[in-house]
Structure 1
Amino acid sequence: MARAYVFREYGGPDVEELVDLPRPVPGPGQVLVEVRAAGVNPADWKRRTGYAPPGAAPVALPAVFGNEVSGVVVESGPGADFAPGEEVFGYPITGGYAEFTLLPADLTARKPPSVSFTDAATLPVAAATAYDAIQQVALTPGATLLITGVGGGVGVAAAQIARHAGLRVIGTASAAKKDFVASLGVIHVEPGPGTADRVRAEAPGGVDAIVDLVGGAALEEVAELLGDRAKLVTAADRATVAALGGVPVARARDREVLDAVARLVVEGALHPYVTRTFPLAEAGRALRSVEEGHTRGKVVIEIAG
C-alpha cells in the first residue's frame, strides 16, 4: 500500500483525504515511479469541483490529485524505454500527490542531474505551458508581450522564457508582487479597472501578443490593445478568448518540450521559483495556498524517498 491524497467525490475541501491505495502496476508503455515531488496547480482544485477541460477523460473516484511529478523509476512496463533507478519527471496517469504513480513513457523525460526533484516537479505543467504559449505567439526579438497574471507559476515561467527570447514583457500582477515581477525584468502593471490604459502608457503602440493566465473581465479589457487576435492566447478561459477572436494555448505535451524546459533550467535561463514546499501529510495546506490565489511562483509537495 502507498499513501496518496485524494478527493472522494466532487465538492469543496471537505471531500479531500489522505488514504492508503494499492501500489500501481505499469502496463505497456508505462513506468512506475516513486514520487519525490509533485507540483501544485490551480487545475488540481478545479478538478475536485467537477470542472473538466474539453476532451478530458472521465474521472474515477476516489481520484488522486496532481498533474506533474518528479521521481525515480521503480519498474517499466513493456515498451517503456526507462530503467529502474533513472530520475525522471512528467505527467502522471494515476495522480501526483502520492508515494507512487504511473507515467506514460512518451510523456516522461530524464531529469538532468543538476536539476533538483523539487524544481523538476514544476516543469510539466507550469513551465511547459509557458513554453508552449511563447512558441505559439512566435514573436521576434524586441517585440512586446503582455502577460496577464504574471506572478503565478505559469506567468513567472512565461516571463523568463520570453525575456530569454529577447522580448519586452509587460505583466499584470497585484501590487504586493511588484518588486518580484520587476526582478524578472518585467514591467509591472497593476490589474483592475483601467488596466488597458496603464498598459498603453507603457506601450503606446499597443502590444504584439497577449498570453492570458487570468481570463474573464481582465482578458476582455486588455484584448483591445491587440490588433492581431491570432496573437491572443489563453491558458485560463477558453470561452472568453473564443469570443474575442483568440485561441487557447496549444499544448504539445511531449518529451521534446519537457527536455527543452529542463535545458533552460540547466542553462540558468529559467528559475522555477518554488516559494513554498509541504510534505505529503500537509497536501491539503499546499492545495489551499494555491486555491486561495495569493501564491507567488510555485508550490510543491515534497515526498521523502
Structure 2
Amino acid sequence: MPKAYVFTRNGGPETEALVEREVPAPGPGELLVAVRAAGVNPVDWKLRSGFRRPGEGPPVFPAVFGSEVAGTVERVGPGVEGFEVGQAVFGTPRTGGYTEYTVLSAEVTALKPDGLSFAEAAVLPVAAATAYDGLQQLGPAGGSTLLITGAGGGVGVAAVQIARHMGVRVVGTAAADKKAFVESLGAVHVPSGPGVAERVRAAAPDGVDAVFDLVGGDTLKEVAELVTDRTRLISAGGKPLAVELGGAAVVRARNAAVFDEVARLAVGGALRTFVTGSYPLDRAAEALRAVESGHTQGKIVIEMG
C-alpha cells in the first residue's frame, strides 16, 4: 500500500510515523493525484503541535503532514472539468502532502507549467501564494517603499521578489546572517531584533509607505509606528495583533488563479523558488526537523521515488 508520513496525536516529533494507508478516493469536484513532490513548511510542525487555523476543527488522527504538492492526475472526480488523467498539476491537498497519493480540490489546483520541475511547483501554493495575496491586498505603487519583516523566511523571500518585480523599493528585516541573501533579492537589509524600528528609519530616512509583517509580536508593535495610515499595515505573522493596531490580516484568495500567476512569475524568472534541500519520503522526519530548526535558507521538499 502507499506510504504517508503522519502525526498520531498533538505533540512533538515523538508523535510522527511513516505508515501505510489506502489510496484515497476523489469525491465530487476533486482530483486524485500521484504526488511527485511536497513542500515542507513551518505550519506543518505547528499543526502537529496543536495550532489550528481559524475556523478549522480538530484533526482526525492519524493526520498526514503537508499543505502543498505537485504531481500527476490519477483520477478525476465527478463534476470536474479542465483536468485529465496524466496531467501535471500542483496545489493544496485535502488529504495531506507527505504521501504518495492525495486528493486535491479542483478549485485549488493548477496545471504545472513545463518550465517548472515538480519540486519547484510544489513550493508555490503556501509561501509564494501568501506573498502574492498580501501584495495584491496592499497594492503598493511602483517607486514606493515597502517594509517586509521576516524577509529571509519563505513568505518573505517570495514577497521581496514579487514586490521588486512590481517596481517597489523594499526594506527587509532578517537575521544578520541572512544579510547577503536578502540583499541578493534586491532589498535593503535591516537586522531584526529589539530596536528594529530605529534601524528601519535609518535605512529609509524618507519613511516607508506600507508594512507587510511576517513576524508578529514585539516586532509588529515596533514597526506599526512607522506608518501613520494603519490601513497600510498587513500581517501574516500576527494577524489578531495587526487588527488591534489598526491594520489587517493578510486575506488569502486560495484559488487556482493565484497559483497560475505565481507559476507564471516563476517561469519568467521574476520569482525564484530557492529549493535548497530534497529528501525522500522515508526521510521525511529529517526534512521536517530541518524546517522546525528555523535555520534553513530556501525551501525544503520531499520527493517521491
- Residue in 2 that maps onto 1:295: 296
Query: How far apart, CA to CA, are the structure 2 residues paired with 1:148 and 1:289?
Result: 22
Query: How far apart, CA to CA, are the structure 2 residues paired with 1:220 and 1:192?
Result: 12
- Residue in 1 that maps onto 2:209: 208
Correspondence 1:17 to 2:42: no
Please list the CA deviations of residues 252-271 of structure 1 after superposition, one character each: whole Å capped at 9, or x if unmatched. Answer: 00111010001001111111
Query: How far apart, CA to CA, are the structure 2 residues paired with 1:80 and 1:231?
Result: 39
Correspondence 1:196 to 2:197: yes
Gaps of 5+ in 1: none
Amino acid at match of 1:16: E
- Aligned-pair CA distance for 1:205: 2.9
Amino acid at match of 2:228: G
Q: Which stretch shows the higher mean deviation, 241-250 or 17-26?
A: 241-250
Amino acid at match of 2:278: T
Instruction: List 4+ stretches of structure 1 deviating above 4 A.
Output: none
Query: How far apart, CA to CA, are the structure 2 residues paired with 1:134 and 1:199?
Result: 20
- Residue in 2 that maps onto 1:177: 178
Could you tell me whether the CA contact under 8 Å between 1:68 and 1:96 is conserved in 2? yes
Correspondence 1:121 to 2:122: yes
- Aligned-pair CA distance for 1:159: 0.4
- Residue in 2 that maps onto 1:234: 235
Amino acid at match of 1:40: V
- Aligned-pair CA distance for 1:51: 0.8
Q: Which stretch shows the higher mean deviation, 231-240 or 29-38?
A: 231-240
- Residue in 2 that maps onto 1:68: 68
Could you tell me whether the CA contact under 8 Å between 1:152 and 1:298 is conserved in 2? no
Please list the CA deviations of residues 256-299 of structure 1 after superposition, one character each: whole Å capped at 9, or x if unmatched. Answer: 10100010011111111111111111111111111111111211
SS at match of 2:93: coil
RMSD (CA atoms)? 0.9
SS at match of 2:90: strand
Query: How far apart, CA to CA, are the structure 1 residues paired with 2:300 and 2:196?
Result: 28
Matches within 5 A, 1:50-129: 50-81=50-81, 82-129=83-130
Query: How far apart, CA to CA, are the structure 2 residues paired with 1:50 and 1:145?
Result: 33
Amino acid at match of 1:242: V
* Amino-acid identity (%): 59
Amino acid at match of 1:149: G
SS at match of 2:243: helix
SS at match of 1:290: helix
Could you tell me whether the CA contact under 8 Å between 1:128 and 1:261 is conserved in 2? yes
Gaps of 5+ in 2: none
Query: How far apart, CA to CA, are the structure 2 residues paired with 1:246 and 1:284?
Result: 37
Could you tell me whether the CA contact under 8 Å between 1:111 and 1:120 is conserved in 2? yes
Aligned residues, how many?
Answer: 304
Correspondence 1:264 to 2:268: no
- Residue in 2 that maps onto 1:35: 35
What TM-score, normalized by structure 2, do the two folds share?
Answer: 0.98
What TM-score, normalized by structure 1, do the two folds share?
Answer: 0.98
- Residue in 1 that maps onto 2:26: 26
- Residue in 2 that maps onto 1:133: 134
